[in-house]
Structure 1
C-alpha cells in the first residue's frame, strides 16, 4: 500500500486507486488541478463541488422520473461542444497568428519534411516525431494555408482526446466524476491550447493514460497490462522527450512493491509458493513494460545512435539546457551543426553539466532557477 501511495504522490496525478472509499467531493486532480492560493480557497472549492454533487443528484432523479434525462444530456452535449468549437476556433483565428508562438513554425516544418520524405524523416532531435507524423497524415501542400490547417487538426485532435479521456475515466471513476473531470480540463486547459499546432495536448493525454496504467500495474500487474503500459509510455516518449523520469519513478516504486512481496514470501512459509508466483508475475510484467517501451522508441533511438552518436540524443537536454541564453546556443552548438550530427566543436567547448558547474558560481546557478 505504501509504495502505491508514494508513487502516486511523486508522479503528480492524484486519482488515487487505493483510497477506494473516497467520495466524489474529495477526489483530487493532479496535473489539471484548479489552482488555489490558500487552504481556504481549496476548502471553498471542495464545498462548492459537494453542493453541486447533491443538486446534480436531485436533478438527475427528477429527470429520470420524467424520462427527460437523455434529451437534456444530448442538448447539453451539443451546447458545450458548440461552445468549445467556437471558442477554440476563435482563439486560433484571432489570437494565435504567429508561427513563432511556441515553436509552431518548427513543428510545421517538421510536418512538411515528414510528408515530403514519405514518413521516413524522424527529425533533427529538437522535437520528437509522433505529433509531426500525426499532422503529416492531414498535411496538404496545396491547401494554401498549412498553418491554419494544422491548427484545425489540433482542435479536432483535442476533441478526440477528451472523448478518450472520458471513456477511460467512465470505466474507473464513474460517469459523474468522468464528466466533471473532462469538463474541467476541457474548459480550463484544452480550450486555451487546442488552437495551437503543438504536441502538448497529445502528450498530456498519453502521460495521463501512462500514469493510470502504471497505477494499475502497482495494484494488479499482468502481462497484458505490462505490454499496454510499455506501448503507451513509448508513445508518450515519442511525443515529448519527458517520459523517462516518470518511468524511472514507476520502476523505483514497483521495485519497492516487489521487495515487499519477497519479504512476505520469506517470512510466510505457508503462502510462500503463492507469493512467489505473484513475484514471478510482477517481474515478468515489469520486463514487458521495459521491453515494449524500448521497442516503441527503438527505431528513433537507433537512428540517433547512428547519426548523432547517442541513443538519447536531444539538442535541448544535451546542449541547450546548459546555455544561459538562446544567443549563446545560436553561436554555439547550433552554429556547428548540432541538428545534422554531433557538433563540430572541440570537447572543451561542448556545453555539459560539468562545464556548467565549473563556469558558474552558486549564486549564478540559483539566479537561473529564479528567472528560469
Structure 2
C-alpha cells in the first residue's frame, strides 16, 4: 500500500511541474513576469526534487502536492489574499492527508471529505483547481483500490458503463460549478468565458469518486432486480417535491416584489392589450405584434383603471399558469416514467425557466406549455396516426399559435415528416400498412382543426388590416438586418408622416434575396446562432441543466444497450427537424434583437423526450452495489434532481439580481 502511494505521488510530482512549465511558458504574455519569474520556476522544481528523494524517505513525497499548490499560488498573480489563503489551506490539508495515508490505512469517508474540501477550497478560480484535483485524485485512487490499485482501475476502465457514468458526473460537476461561478466570480462570468484549465478542473473529482467506488459497483441487465432492490422511500419524494415547490415559490415571490416596471420585457404592452380586450369584447385590435390568448385571459381578471394594479394582476395570472402548468407537467411525467422522473423533470423546469419567467406579464410560460402539448400530440400522430389524434394536434397547435405566433413551424414539420413517413417503406419507418393509409387523414384533420381555431383571428386581421396573415413581426421586423432599421421600416409603412416620400418596399420573401446573397444568409445565421449560444450560456442555467438531462439520456441508452424501435424513428426525425427549425429561427432573429427567449420554445419538448429516453434506456438495467440494486433510470433521475436542487441557491441569487424575461 505504501509503495503504491509513494510511486503514484512520485510520478504525479514529476508530471505536474512539466505540465505547468509548458503552460507558463506558452502563455502570451507570460503570466509570471519580471524578476519573480525565476523564483516561480524554481518553486515549480520543488516537487521534482522531492521525487528524487524516494530512496531516502518515501514519506517526503507526500509534501509534493503542497509544493505544487504553493508554487501555483505564486505563479498566478494577481491572486486575492483570501483565495491565496484558501489555496494554502487546501495544500496543507492535502499534504497532511497524504502523510497520514503513507503511514497507514485511512477510512474511505475521510478521503472523500478531504477530496471535497480540497476541490471546494481551491474553487473554480484558477489553474490551481486542476492541480488540487489531480493531486487528490491520484492518491485517492490508489487509496480506494487497495494494494491491487492499478489492476482495479484498469478493470473499471474496461467497463463501458464506467465511461458513461464519468461523462454524466463530469457534466453534473460542470453544471454546479458553472452556476456558482456566475454568482461568486467578480466580475460575473459563466461557462462561455472559462479557460480550458477550468473545464479540466471539473474532471478529477468525479473521476476519483468513480475509481473509488467503481470496484464495488456493477451494472446488470435484467427485468427484475438481480439483488435486493433499493427503492426510493416515499418520504424522500415528498420531501423533494416540497423543497422544489417552496424554492420555486420563494424565487417567484422575490421576483414579483422587485418587478414593478411596466416597460420591462413588454409587460405594459400586454397589459394594454388586455385592457383593450376588456373594453371592446369581440374586437381583437392592435398591431399584431402580440397574440391574444394571454391578454384575453388577463382581461377577465383586471378591474378598474389603475395600470399598476393591472400589472400586478397580470403577473398573478402568469404565476397561476406556471403553477398549474408545472403540476400538470409533473402529473403527465409521473404517468409515463414514474414519480422519481416526474419530480426530476418538474425541478428541471420550475427551478430554471418557470421561476424566472412566471412572475412577468408575458405569454412565454403559457406558450412553452402549449408547445409541449402540441409536440406530444404530434409525436402520437407519427407513432399511431388517426383522425382523432390529428384533430387534437391541430387544436393544440392552433392554441399555441394564438399564444405566440411560432407554432406554424411545428405544423410544417409535422406535415413534412408525416408525408415522408407515409411514402417510405415499412422497413424504414416501422409503420404498418393501416398506419400509412391513416396518415393523410390525420394530417388533414390537424390542418383543418388548426385553421378552425385560428379562423376568427384571421378574419379579424382581414377586416382590420386587409391581410389575414398580417403580423408586425413576420411582415416587418423579420426581414430587416438590425433593430433600428426594422423600427424605421415599420413606422414608415404603418405610421407615415405627412408629406413623407413613399417608403421603400419591405424586403419580404423573395425580395429579400434581391439585396442579399446566400453567403449573407449563412453569415446571418452563423452570427445569430453564436449570439444565441452566448445569451443562453450567460442566462440562468437552463441550458446547463438541459445538457445534463440530454447526456443522461445518452448514458441510459449506452448502459442499457437500448436500441430505439423503428416506429420511434419517425417521431425522432420530427423532433430533430423541429428543433433545428426553431434554432435556425432563433439565429435569424438574433441579428435583430437578443434574448434567450428565442431558444426556450423547444426546452420542454427536449426535456420531456430526454426524460422518457432515460426511462426507456435504464428501465431494464440495474446498478448493483454490495448486494443492493437500483434501476439505472432511477439513479439518473435522482442525480438530476440533486443537481437541480444543489444549483438552486445560486439561481435564487440570480433571481434576486436580474430582471429576467429577456
TM (norm. structure 1) is 0.72
What's 1:121 paired with?
284
Task: For 1:338 and 1:210, locate their aligned partners in 2 and report how far apart those are by CA, in whole Å.
Answer: 37
Structure 1 distance, partners of 2:371, 2:501, is: 36
Looking at structure 2, the residues matched to 142 and 364 of structure 1 have their Cα atoms a distance apart, in angstroms, of: 48
Name the counterpart of 2:506.
350
The whole-number CA distance in structure 2 between the counterparts of 1:239 and 1:202 is 7
Q: How many residues are paired up?
A: 314
Distance 2:445 2:490 in 1: 37
Number of the residue aligned with 1:16: none
Aligned to 1:111, which of 274, 279, 285? 274
Determine whether 1:181 maps to 2:351: no
Choose the corresponding residue for 1:310, options 467, 470, 490. 467
User: Aligned-pair distance for 1:317?
Assistant: 1.1
Q: Which of 230, 243, 250 is equivalent to 1:86?
A: 250
Q: Contact 1:89–1:152 at 8 Å: present in 2 too?
A: no
Q: CA deviation at 1:78?
A: 3.8
Instruction: Give the whole-Å Cα distance in 2 for the aligned partners of 1:362 and 1:256.
Output: 27
Alpha-carbon separation, structure 1, partners of 2:239 and 2:340? 17
C-alpha change, 1:366 and 1:289, in structure 2 (3 Å) is closer
Query: What displacement does 1:361 show?
Result: 6.8
CA RMSD of aligned residues (A): 3.9
Unaligned runs of 5+ in 2: 1-164, 169-174, 179-190, 220-224, 529-590, 592-662
Matching residue within 366, 382, 401 for 1:218: 382
Q: Deviation string for 1:300-353 (max 9, x for gaps)?
A: 1122223323322111111112234443344333244279xxxx9858433424
CA-CA distance at 1:77 after TM superposition: 3.5
1:333 partner SS: helix
- Three-state SS of the structure 2 residue aligned to 1:224 is helix
Distance 1:117 1:177, change over 3 A: same
Q: Contact 2:252/2:358 (CA < 8 Å) preserved in 1? A: yes
Distance 1:232-1:338 versus aligned 2 partners, 3 A rule: farther
Matches within 5 A, 1:356-371: 356-359=512-515, 368-369=524-525, 370=527
Is structure 2 residue 328 aligned with structure 1 residue 172?
no
Larger Rg: 2
Report deviation, 1:195.
1.3
For residues 214-237 of structure 1, what are the alpha-carbon distances to aligned partners after superposition, in whole Å with 9 as ceiling and x for unaligned?
Answer: 111111112221111111111111
Contact 2:476–2:489 under 8 Å retained in 1: no
Task: Decide whether aligned partners of structure 1 residues 76 and 59 sit closer, same or farther in structure 2, where only a CA change above 3 A counts.
Answer: farther
Find the counterpart in structure 1 of residue 231 from structure 2: 61
Could you give the per-residue CA deviations for residues 186-221 of structure 1, whole angstroms, max 9, x where no partner exists?
A: 101111111111111111111111111111111111
Structure-2 change in CA distance of 1:132 and 1:352 (3 Å): same
Match of 2:370? 206
Do the aligned partners of residues 256 and 91 (structure 1) sit closer, same or farther apart at CA in structure 2, a change above 3 Å counting? Answer: same
| Counterparts of 2:334 and 2:447, CA distance in 1 | 28
**Partner of 1:10 in structure 2?**
none
Aligned residue number for residue 196 of structure 1: 360
Residue matched to 1:334:
491
> How many Å separate the matches in 1 of 2:446 and 2:330?
25
The answer for the alignment partner of 2:317 in structure 1 is: 153
1:95-110 equivalences in 2 (<5 Å): 96-110=259-273
**CA–CA distance in 2 between the matches of 1:78 and 1:355?**
55
Distance 1:61 1:332, change over 3 A: closer
**Structure 1 pair 230–164 and aligned structure 2 pair: CA distance change class (3 A):** same
Alignment match, 2:436 = 279
Write out per-residue CA displacement over residues 63-110 of structure 1, whole angstroms, 9 at most, x where no aligned residue: 3xxxxx3x555554444323211211211222x332222211111111
